[in-house]
Amino acid sequence: MTDLTLATLLPALESRFGPDVKVLPSRKEVLGVVQVKGERLVEVARFLHDQGTFTHCALVSGVDWIEHIEVLYHLWSDALKGYLELTVETAPEEPHVPSVTSVWRGANWHERETWDMLGVRFDGHPDLRRVLMPEGYRFHPLRKSFELHEPEELEVKARHV
């Protein structure tokens, strides 16, 4: 697709997936922000990869908003020279979204890291292990319920338990 522009891509996305995608107001440093329902994520990803020239999955990350967890994808397109932001919302208890590793292999470790740090399960991920923290660690540190303390404070606490 040589004549691909954002003005044609986003409506095409909306018309194809109907109410499952929502184009949110964009910010100036990204091409656009698209909210996707978790169930259709892989299809949307496949569409963007094949038809939208978003061949490079730059970043998968997550934000804990307490009421829900938001998983973010930043995709780079060589033709459009910019990043598209996909956001997926999921429940804070047992959060899970489908894995996009079948579309972009590069998402593999990003998803592992998001599982490690936020506890989001990626269904269909080939090898969902912790990547930064040791295996067997019990917490997901980037959750807002996980707090940091001075080490002395922790020692005092441990003594009183």
Partner 1 sequence: MSEMWINMGPQHPMTHGLWNLRVKVDGELIVDADPEIGYLHRGIEKICEYRRYNEVVTLMDRTCYVAGIAWEQLYIMAAEEALNINPPPRAEYVRVLSQELQRLSSHVMWYAAYVQDIGLMTPFLYGMRDRDLILDLFQSYTGARMTYEFMRVGGVRNDVPVGFTDRCRKVMDWFDQRLPEYEKVCDNSTIFLERTKGIGVLKAADCVNDGVTGPMLRAAGVDRDLRRDRPYSVYPELDFDVAVYDAPDCYGRYRVRMEEMKQSVRIVRQVLDWLDRNPGPVLAEKVPRFVGTPSPPPGKEIYVERRGYPKGRGFSAMEEPHGEAMAYIINEGAEHPYRAKLRSPVFVNIAASKDYLVGYRVSDIPAIMGSVDICVGESDR
Partner 2 sequence: MNATNTSGTARIITHVKETDPMEPEVPFAEVEAVQSKEYIPVIKETLTGMIQRGLDAATKPVFNWAGRNSLFPLHWGLACCAIEFAAGFGARWDGERFGVVPRSSPRQCDLLIVNGTVTWKLSHKLITLWEQMPEPKWAIAMGNCATGGGPFRTAYSVVPGVNKLIPVDVYIAGCPPRPEAMLDGILRLERLIRERRA
56 binds, among partner 1, partner 2, none (CB under 5 to 8 A by kind): partner 1
**Quick check: 129 and 135 in contact, CB under 8 A?**
yes
CB of 24 to partner 1, least distance (A): 11
Task: Answer yes or no whether residue 139 interacts with partner 2 by CB under 8 A.
Answer: yes
Residues 6+ apart with CB under 8 A from 71: 60, 61, 62, 87, 88, 89, 90, 97, 114, 120
CB of 78 to partner 2, least distance (A): 34
CB atoms within 10 A of CB 127: 10
Considering only residues 66, 129, 151, 160, which one is a binding residue for partner 2 as defined by CB under 8 A?
151
């020279």: which residue's tokens? Answer: 81
Q: Which residues from 90-149 bind partner 1, rule CB under 8 A?
A: 104-110, 113, 117, 130-134, 141-142, 146, 148
Q: Which residues from 69-128 bind partner 2, rule CB under 8 A?
A: none
- Reported as type and span, the H/E element at residue 36 is strand 32-36
User: How many angstroms separate the most distant Cα atoms in the chain?
Assistant: 68
Which stretches of the chain bind partner 1, using CB under 8 A?
27-30, 55-59, 61, 63-64, 72, 74, 78, 81-83, 85, 104-110, 113, 117, 130-134, 141-142, 146, 148
